[in-house]
Amino acid sequence: MHPILAHRAKLALYLAAWLALALLLAALTMLAGNLSGREAFVFVVPLMLLYAFVCLSTWYLCRAFAVERSGLVQLFSVHVLAALSSAGLWLFLGKMWAETLARFPWFNGLNARFPQNVALLAGAAILLFWLMTVVHYLFIAFENTRNIEKSLLQLQLLAREAELQNLKAQIHPHFLFNSLHSLSALTTIDAIAAREMCLRLSEFLRKSLAMKADTRIPLAEELKLLENYLAIERVRFGMRLQVEKHVDAETERCLVPALLLQPLMENAVNHGIAHLLEGGVIVLDAQKRAERLEIVLTNSCDPDRPPSRGEGMGLQNVSKRLATLYGSNAAIVWEDLAEYFHVKMVLPCGHV
């Protein structure tokens, strides 16, 4: 719906402006000499108020033919045609109105004198229509800037939120505390392994802390981060945690949002492997198809695992993040196949 029609106050203001124009045109027709003051007023004002509504239709045209998306010739011909047809329609209505008024004694012969006013009315109609077109374009441009500002703000907000959530996910207190507990055990059992784990943990923390929500890194780097994470989890889970990777060489240079896979891998470990007595396997596939990066993550899981509250959160976050960064150019779907959990993600492969 037209924004003016949707608000009573705006509509009143708009009609008041048109009333002023109507009075002006009435005065002009009177001055042109072939209508009396009363005739000009009664004939022109209602007609102009009617035209006020006709001119609102240009809003739909302006939206359909945005300046930045349409050619000059196209714009010109569309608006000339629109102005001519609406002016024509209006003049036809004017003629009917003149015929109607002419039936009353006060307006005797108005219909006969109508043709003499056609040039003035037609000129006014076309010019006013174009004026309204320009006003609408300006209005749309203004709205667009406002929307862009708004979505920019929203994007920044989302990015902040994602950053925070990522940070929280990375330095997941349970992950950290469990790892430190394993580390504490390792110190007396295998000092070298303990040091190795210290280094892995430090590197993982340092790298994830450095990442921002809008940082994009080559897939190869993201995989290295994951490897650090998995190495730490392997100390905890031992042989229960098996990971297979099938990564196409040409995907390694694709740019992906930093830490995109991290929450998915955490899900696979915490909601998949952690519930399996004998452990299980996580399979990561990365392929490039027609300039798109396709990543599939599958993990074995226990079909009878208790429902957990946090389970969908990571996925929802990744989904939101993809939507914010890529709009409809990226997608993520997941499926719970009882014995397996399956996540598939497609996103544009931007190169370094």
CB of 244 to another protein, least distance (A): 21
Interface with another protein (CB under 8 A): 173-174, 177-178, 180-186, 188-189, 235-238, 274-277, 302, 304, 306-307, 309
Q: Tell me the backbone φ, ψ of residue 225, rounded to 5 degrees.
A: -60, -45
CB of 186 to another protein, least distance (A): 6
Question: Residue 227 or residue 302: which is nearer to another protein going by CB?
Answer: 302
Q: Which of 310, 312, 320, 270 lies closest to 161, judged by CA? A: 320
3-state SS assignment for residue 69: coil
CB of 273 to another protein, least distance (A): 9
Question: Residue 37 or residue 303: which is nearer to another protein going by CB?
Answer: 303
Q: How many residues does the chain have?
A: 352
CB-based burial, 273-305: b 16+ in 10 Å, e otherwise = bbbbeebbbbbbbbebeeeebbbebbbbbbeee
Q: Are 295 and 284 in contact (CB under 8 A)?
A: yes
Q: What angle do CA 100, 102, 107 make, to 5 degrees?
A: 130
Residues 81 and 133: their CA atoms lie apart, in Å, by 13
CB of 234 to another protein, least distance (A): 11
CB of 86 to another protein, least distance (A): 60
Question: Residue 236 or residue 342: which is nearer to another protein going by CB?
Answer: 236
Q: Count helices and strands (H / E) in the chain.
A: 11, 7
Question: Residue 127 or residue 199: which is nearer to another protein going by CB?
Answer: 199
Question: Residue 218 or residue 279: which is nearer to another protein going by CB?
Answer: 279
Sign of the CA dihedral running 38, 43, 46, 52: negative
Question: Residue 232 or residue 264: which is nearer to another protein going by CB?
Answer: 232
CB of 53 to another protein, least distance (A): 54
